[in-house]
Structure 1
Amino acid sequence: MIYPTNFEQKIGFNEIRVLLSERCLSTLGRSRVDELAMSHDVQKLNTWMNETRELRRLQEAEPDFPLQYFFDLRAPLARLKIEGTHFEEQELFDLCRSLDTLHRIVLFLNRPSGGEISEPIDGDIESASSITFLYPTLQRLTVGIVTFPELVRRINGIIDKCGRVKDSASPELQRIRSELAQTEGSISRILNAILRSAQQEGLVDKDVAPAMREGRLVIPIIPGLKRRIGGIVHDESASGRTVYIEPTEVVEANNRVRELEAEERREVIRILVELSKEIRPHIPALIASYALLADIDFIRAKAQLALLTQATEPTILPTAQIDWAQAVHPLLRLSLEKQGKRVVPLDICLSAEKRILIISGPNAGGKSVCLKTVALLQYMLQCGLSVPMSECSQVGIFEHLMLDIGDEQSIENDLSTYSSHLLNMKQMLRHSDRRTLLLIDEFGTGTEPLIGGAIAQAVLTQFCRRGAFGIITTHYQNLKRFADTHPGVANGAMLYDRQGMRPLFQLSIGQPGSSFAIEIARKTGLPEEVIREASLLAGEDYIQSDKYLQDIVRDKRYWEGKRQDIHRREKNLQTLIDRYETDLKEISQTRREILSRAKSEAEALLRESNRRIETTIREIRESQAEKEQTKRMRQELATFRDALEQTDDASGDELIARKMEQIRQRKQRHEKRLAEKAERLQQAEQKHRASEDQPAEQSLPTTLRPGDAVRMRGLTTVGRVESIDGGGQATVVFGSMRTKTTVDHLERVAPTAASTPLRSALSSSTRQAIDERRNRFRQDLDIRGERGDEALNAVMHFIDDALLVGIPRVRILHGKGNGILRQLIRQYLSTLPAVSSFRDEHVQFGGAGITVVDL
């Protein structure tokens, strides 16, 4: 329960309700705002918090979530239950759009976390429980909700995008509207002809146009000339300077228009009645389904309010407690932000050990604001609204919220201010228990201070015996002393800056606060004589005790600042330690990865060196070199392999680096020797050509004939021409291989150069490799999706293989895309002398996505 009846008004919740209602999309959500009430069901409250939390997350992550066309059709649907009634066109249009939104919301919320589903789960709780949803709390709102996609499609077949019944809704309606359009067109033509004639005769002004009066097209004319045009006068202007005449020529046509409009309306109503009959059986399910739209609208409004007030959705505990950090009064924050000011957050704690907090301090120091902040936030929390406080706060619930704040004196009820306070105390004593939160401002005031303080202390003792929780503001010294001596009560003070003589609006729990009455009186400018006399009347003991209290508060504030500074420094230090530990772990992990990668690179270099060395050994054997060199190279390789395998992660860094450097140096020396050897072979071949082939070639005839010995330009392999066709294409046999190429790519050689057949010059292993490659060769190469360098490398080997096996035409599949890969491949093909031409494939077989290459 809440007490008194105007509880919401006193704490400012009515303003919260207005802010919430303003953020609703329709009356669906606003009806939920009007029904908003306090609950102490923990499960229900946490569900409400989860709904708001999920919708906030959904709006951030899912901009396509349907949040339009929230129309409240519950009243028209209830009216439709009566036989013979029907929806109007606009109502039907709104029904269609809102049902479509409902259907899309249900589909959206029933999407599982791993994919999509096509239909909502209509009340199948067992099926829903086996699926993990992205927004499970919101999804539970859709269980049992029926959607009507077929009805939406049916309405869309009748209503157009502007909310008007379509011409195609029935053949009769289409006929009526067609005839109506023709009749109105003929009327317009006749009127325009009459109007032009009247303008030529000077009866009407040239800028006059036909007008509409009582649903009939008429001509405006000067009253004095109305008899010049035969017809019916329907109206005149307010000034009397213009009369509106319906010419005789269009009277019958206008009558027909009115008849057609009546027929159109009757046909539209007939269509709406028939459609309403189809909707009527679904009315209960439709009205129930609109509950989901109301829920989503209301939850969205709560999420928008949370964004406005910078609020969070804490997890609510089943115990009665308050442990809030950085709590802020939302209305005060909004008000101060408009003024460019900042609100001071509140830290407050009520536990089983300290159930009641006695707050003291100066007037205008923030005591009442503190009280209202606790009252408003606790009530918002138990209404399921987000509250502006730190996420680390712990919140509980209370079954009773009871408030005594302000002046409740009443002339009608013969109540004074103090009497109204006593009536409130009576109600609080009657209903307070361990699940009650009492919020009392200026406890005991309104009567003689001595007896008022005594009664307040006696009431406070009863509150303690009943185990109630409470926050009480007071100036009474006896209540402050009571809080110091009673185990269930704590003192608190609203801090005050004595140097600046201004309130700090900060709550400090643990020590009572001073009223700073002497200081505030001095600041307001009271004469010093008055202040001295007041001090004497109060007594030296009171003044000194108040001074000591101020000093205690000042010292506590100082040491609290020191404590917070130390805590902050410890936190920063712990953060640095955690970061350093994380960095050390990352460095250790990186070191292991580097060692692993170094080993992998070393093994790769080892394999490459092994391959190169084996090649060198083979060449040495073929050249009949000394076996001692082969033995030495094998020994070095074995030594390095053993050293690599014996290296561990902890002590092998330097050895791996040294061995890798040795491999690199050895690789460089080996490549240098191979380059020198290739250069010597090239020089020897050039000398051999200069001494043997060149003189013969100079004396050879330029025309090729079948049987001539030839070779491809730039190559050394010699073959014989088998045949030459009329298009300049020659068939050449190289050993057992036959290939076609253009005559321009061939050069004649002396017959002695071809004396040794190609196959006899090749080893058996080479011939076998060529035969295997010919059998495996395919005329199509697919390089779609490959990078440029990879594609060029593949094309280079592909063309070489095609030339080797004697294939005259091949195809390269590179795709269309942006044309980059196609251009890159064709640029490379244009540099090859063995390629005679290349072009796009026929459009039926791939077009520009395939390049056909002729060799």
Structure 2
Amino acid sequence: MNERIFRVLEFNKIIEQLADHAASSLGKDSARRLKPATELAVVKQLQAETDQAVQILRLHGDVPFGGISDIRPSLKRAEVGGVLNAQECLQIAGLIYGGKQLRRFVDSLEELEVPLIREQVANIQPLSELEQEIRSCIDDHAHVMDGASDKLRAIRAKIRTSESRIRERLDSYIRSKSKMLSDAIVTIRNDRYVLPVKQEYRAAIGGIVHDQSSSGQTLFMEPQAVVDINNTLSEAKVQEKAEIERILRELTVSIASDLVPLKVNVEALAALDFIFARAKLGQSMRAAMPTMNDQGYIEMKQARHPLLDQDQVVANDIVLGKDYHAIVITGPNTGGKTVTLKLIGLCTLMGQSGLQIPALDGCQLAVFDEVFADIGDEQSIEQSLSTFSSHMTNIVEILGQVTDRTLVLFDELGAGTDPQEGAALAMAILDEVVKRKARIIATTHYPELKAYGYNRDGVINASVEFDVQTLKPTYRLLIGVPGRSNAFEISRRLGLNSELIQSAKQLIGTDSTSVEKMIESLDTARRKAEQDYDDAERTLQEAEQLKRHLEKQWHQFEQERETLYKKAEQKAEQAIEKARKEAEEIVDTIRAMKHQSALKEHEWIEARKLLDQAKPELSQKTQEQTISKRPKQEQTLEVGDEVKLLTLNQNGTILEHVSNNEFQVQVGMMKMKVKRQDLQLLKRDNPVVERPLATIKGSNYHVKTELDLRGERYEDAIQELEKYVDDALLAGYARVSIIHGKGTGALRKGVQEFAKKHRQIESARPGGMNEGGSGVTIFEFK
């Protein structure tokens, strides 16, 4: 892509903003080298990377890039055999640490789908051994530590001892010969410890003079008593320097052995810092990810110029490339035509660079091979070119490269020459670019171009709105409506004489008047349509608000109804439980009198069962269900019919027709009178006649003589066994078979324990050879 477009559209300012959001020099360098891509697949990947980084920033706020710096120059020196200094080694350790921190952070984001970010992070090598080796030798202040080697520790101990001895000697001089000194201090000259001695006492002190003051009155002397110790100290410092250099050389060799993974780490961290810088820039602009295409289709919703104040700039909807390929924008100066032109071009460059654009979600941008622009005053004094000549030179160059994968931006096309010739030339240029199927946005002042969009396929007029009342532009782009000059109206509001304005109107041509009236009509229709749309939108919002209110009221009603149902159920359950307890007490009282009664045990079991089953299953819709289950009135019931008692959910037999609306029904051992609406006919075949409960052996009470418990859970099996024994006793069986299988023997033991505790079971024995063996237990009842 041509470099000139970056300057014309001010893309370089976007680059600088992007670099400011990078956390390291690696990211800043990548940002400053950014160029728009021209392959759709590459652009889509760049946008996906940015979007995934935005997801991470939105949920976690920031990403750890601390300690990362550009170590590429140091790596190059290590590669060619140079020795790195302590600061360079420390920066390499910092980059290794920063890479590990970033990798741990991304690995912790298990809930996010960010495959492209994870792919970059996977390239980072830990290199913990190299980092530890550097950290064990160099501290956080880039100082080689004593522990870097045993030899260095010994040398520095010797240095400290020598310095201490020197100070002790010099301090004794200060105490005993302070009158001979200009100042009672110990100082250093030429890396030697010296005293400031007055000139006249030079011989009294003795030793070596290393320096003197500017006046010559003070000599900086090294007393003879510390010369040997200073020599020892100097030798130790030379040894220290040599040992430090040896340590750094070894560290450099270790670093050189890991050059390849270190370079990979640098590239991965630079790429990640660059990706997150793009995401941060998008967040600062309140931007959205565009969907990219290679069909030349642009659709931006509420797009804002990225270099203007985002709280002040006017947002516009822009569509290009589907129903029309060219937009001709007309309107007054300072109305925002050029801003709109740059907005489209700049957003295109940003989209192709992997940057999100300041617009609403759902926008689309096209990938172009080239973006050309002829914007601003290109007059060149050096080349002695006029404004028109400069523009035409640029346009000629553009026309030589235009294809169907090109976006062309023309500002004030044909300006700078005779209006009629300029307008004709502008239309000819537009025709040529449209014929090549490029995407074009052009601005102009020429009235002849206002009707251009009506006479050409694939071209549409647009304008920037101007508020005549306030005499200020609104900066709104109106696609489909050409701009009005508003010269007469503006002049009237500024106080120009009405007669002068009327004379001017008579001087303009009929065609121009017709065009202006047509534009005025279109503008009036547009305003009315916008007002109607606002009214419809307001009505829709009110309807939605009313709908939400009604839904809320209905929900409250449902909750209240549910609460009432639950309260009714609770009251019914309490009443039933109270009746059940009373019945239990009566049964217990009668059972205590058992020796006075001829009733058998299984009759009491059936009575108890009927009491348990007498509790109805209530629900939130009990009343509706009961009503729906009641028999139709035209059904007739006869003595002997098998019926269902809807209130008790039990089956019984009609014994007597008491009255028109009441029947006597046998339910187990009980007889009761029941209303007709509470009975449902089941069947009329083989009516069961009334007989005492004690003689129902072989009757219609159907119970098998064996119970299969195999495969059941232990608790469920014992519960099912208890019910079966009650049913078998009611049926009058003398013996039944309980099939429990062999298995682990737990179920068999449970069955046998149950038999021991049940007072109606006389014996429980394993089954014989023909009865199922140890997998069966035979119960014999009393």
Asked whether the two chains share a fold, i.e. TM above 0.5, the reply is yes
Aligned to 2:286: 310
RMSD, aligned α-carbons: 3.9
| Paired amino acid for 1:90 | Q
* Aligned-residue offset at 1:500: 1.0
CA distance in 1 between partners of 2:316 and 2:189 (Å):
69
Classify the secondary structure of the residue corresponding to 2:291.
coil
* Aligned-residue offset at 1:549: 2.6
1:364 equivalenced with 2:334 (yes/no): yes
Equivalent of residue 463 in structure 2, options 489, 493, 502: 493
Equivalent of residue 446 in structure 1, options 408, 416, 421: 416
Aligned to 1:481: 451
Aligned to 2:674: none
Q: List runs of 5+ in structure 2 lacking aligned partners.
A: 598-603, 628-646, 648-756, 758-782
1:456 equivalenced with 2:432 (yes/no): no
Aligned to 1:187: 166
CA distance in 1 between partners of 2:609 and 2:256 (Å):
96
Q: Is the 8 A contact 2:89 2:251 kept in 1?
A: no
Q: How does 1:188-203 map to 2 (within 5 A)?
A: 188-199=167-178, 201=179, 203=181
Aligned length: 626
* Aligned-residue offset at 1:103: 2.6
Q: How does 1:342-421 map to 2 (within 5 A)?
A: 342-421=312-391
1:90 equivalenced with 2:90 (yes/no): no
CA distance in 2 between partners of 1:448 and 1:641 (Å):
103
| Paired amino acid for 2:232 | R
Aligned to 1:834: none
* Aligned-residue offset at 1:449: 0.7
Q: Is the 8 A contact 1:513 1:550 kept in 2?
A: no
Aligned to 2:275: 299
1:51 equivalenced with 2:49 (yes/no): yes
Aligned to 1:736: none
Aligned to 2:74: 76
CA distance in 1 between partners of 2:215 and 2:534 (Å):
83
Distance 1:173 1:356, change over 3 A: same
1:261 equivalenced with 2:237 (yes/no): yes
| Paired amino acid for 2:39 | D
Classify the secondary structure of the residue corresponding to 1:332.
coil
* Aligned-residue offset at 1:320: 1.4
CA distance in 2 between partners of 1:170 and 1:62 (Å):
43
The answer to which structure has the higher helix fraction is: 1
Classify the secondary structure of the residue corresponding to 1:472.
strand
CA distance in 2 between partners of 1:143 and 1:396 (Å):
32
CA distance in 1 between partners of 2:329 and 2:76 (Å):
55
CA distance in 1 between partners of 2:73 and 2:137 (Å):
22
CA distance in 2 between partners of 1:182 and 1:61 (Å):
58
* Aligned-residue offset at 1:253: 1.9
Classify the secondary structure of the residue corresponding to 2:616.
helix
Distance 1:498 1:165, change over 3 A: same
Distance 1:537 1:215, change over 3 A: farther
Distance 1:603 1:534, change over 3 A: same
| Paired amino acid for 1:304 | K
Distance 1:465 1:575, change over 3 A: farther
Q: List runs of 5+ in structure 1 lacking aligned partners.
A: 115-132, 654-658, 660-767, 769-855
Distance 1:112 1:26, change over 3 A: closer
Q: How does 1:744-759 map to 2 (within 5 A)?
A: none
* Aligned-residue offset at 1:137: 1.4
Q: Is the 8 A contact 2:53 2:279 kept in 1?
A: yes
| Paired amino acid for 2:57 | Q
* Greater shift in the superposed pair: 530-539 or 552-561: 530-539
Q: How does 1:143-222 map to 2 (within 5 A)?
A: 143-199=122-178, 201=179, 203-205=181-183, 208-222=184-198
CA distance in 2 between partners of 1:235 and 1:53 (Å):
67
Equivalent of residue 304 in structure 2, options 321, 324, 328: 328
CA distance in 2 between partners of 1:262 and 1:398 (Å):
65
CA distance in 2 between partners of 1:394 and 1:400 (Å):
18
CA distance in 1 between partners of 2:203 and 2:590 (Å):
129
Q: Is the 8 A contact 1:362 1:517 kept in 2?
A: no
Aligned to 2:39: 41
Please list the CA deviations of residues 690-734 of structure 1 after superposition, one character each: whole Å capped at 9, or x if unmatched: xxxxxxxxxxxxxxxxxxxxxxxxxxxxxxxxxxxxxxxxxxxxx
Please list the CA deviations of residues 430-454 of structure 1 after superposition, one character each: whole Å capped at 9, or x if unmatched: 3323322111110111111111111
* Aligned-residue offset at 1:580: 5.1
Q: Is the 8 A contact 1:353 1:487 kept in 2?
A: no
Distance 1:184 1:486, change over 3 A: same
Distance 1:204 1:514, change over 3 A: same
Classify the secondary structure of the residue corresponding to 1:56.
helix
Classify the secondary structure of the residue corresponding to 2:74.
helix
Aligned to 2:734: none
Classify the secondary structure of the residue corresponding to 1:316.
strand
| Paired amino acid for 1:159 | I
| Paired amino acid for 2:83 | H
Please list the CA deviations of residues 142-176 of structure 1 after superposition, one character each: whole Å capped at 9, or x if unmatched: 34443312221222222233332222222111110
1:106 equivalenced with 2:82 (yes/no): no
Aligned to 1:642: 616
| Paired amino acid for 2:269 | L
Q: Is the 8 A contact 2:197 2:220 kept in 1?
A: yes
Please list the CA deviations of residues 422-474 of structure 1 after superposition, one character each: whole Å capped at 9, or x if unmatched: 23332333332332211111011111111111111111112222222111111
| Paired amino acid for 1:168 | G
CA distance in 2 between partners of 1:530 and 1:197 (Å):
108
Q: Is the 8 A contact 1:103 1:147 kept in 2?
A: yes
Equivalent of residue 284 in structure 1, options 249, 260, 270: 260
Classify the secondary structure of the residue corresponding to 1:566.
helix
Distance 1:593 1:194, change over 3 A: farther
Please list the CA deviations of residues 103-146 of structure 1 after superposition, one character each: whole Å capped at 9, or x if unmatched: 332344345737xxxxxxxxxxxxxxxxxx74211011134443
* Aligned-residue offset at 1:534: 4.9
CA distance in 1 between partners of 2:580 and 2:230 (Å):
102
* Aligned-residue offset at 1:254: 2.1
Please list the CA deviations of residues 798-824 of structure 1 after superposition, one character each: whole Å capped at 9, or x if unmatched: xxxxxxxxxxxxxxxxxxxxxxxxxxx
CA distance in 1 between partners of 2:624 and 2:216 (Å):
110
Classify the secondary structure of the residue corresponding to 1:490.
strand
CA distance in 2 between partners of 1:646 and 1:509 (Å):
60
Distance 1:538 1:245, change over 3 A: farther
* Aligned-residue offset at 1:605: 5.7
Classify the secondary structure of the residue corresponding to 1:244.
strand
Aligned to 2:19: 21
| Paired amino acid for 1:391 | D
Distance 1:547 1:604, change over 3 A: same
Classify the secondary structure of the residue corresponding to 1:349.
strand
* Aligned-residue offset at 1:97: 1.3
* Aligned-residue offset at 1:294: 0.6
* Aligned-residue offset at 1:548: 5.1
What TM-score, normalized by structure 1, do the two folds share? 0.66
Classify the secondary structure of the residue corresponding to 2:221.
strand
Distance 1:574 1:44, change over 3 A: farther
* Aligned-residue offset at 1:71: 1.2
Distance 1:60 1:217, change over 3 A: farther
* Greater shift in the superposed pair: 532-541 or 367-376: 532-541
Distance 1:155 1:511, change over 3 A: same
Q: How does 1:711-726 map to 2 (within 5 A)?
A: none
CA distance in 2 between partners of 1:217 and 1:596 (Å):
100
CA distance in 1 between partners of 2:6 and 2:217 (Å):
63
CA distance in 1 between partners of 2:626 and 2:202 (Å):
117
Distance 1:326 1:237, change over 3 A: farther
Distance 1:599 1:402, change over 3 A: farther
Please list the CA deviations of residues 277-306 of structure 1 after superposition, one character each: whole Å capped at 9, or x if unmatched: 222232133212210111122122222222
| Paired amino acid for 1:503 | P
| Paired amino acid for 2:391 | H
CA distance in 2 between partners of 1:95 and 1:149 (Å):
12
Classify the secondary structure of the residue corresponding to 1:431.
coil
Classify the secondary structure of the residue corresponding to 2:79.
coil
Q: Is the 8 A contact 2:427 2:449 kept in 1?
A: yes
Distance 1:311 1:223, change over 3 A: farther
Q: Is the 8 A contact 1:87 1:272 kept in 2?
A: yes
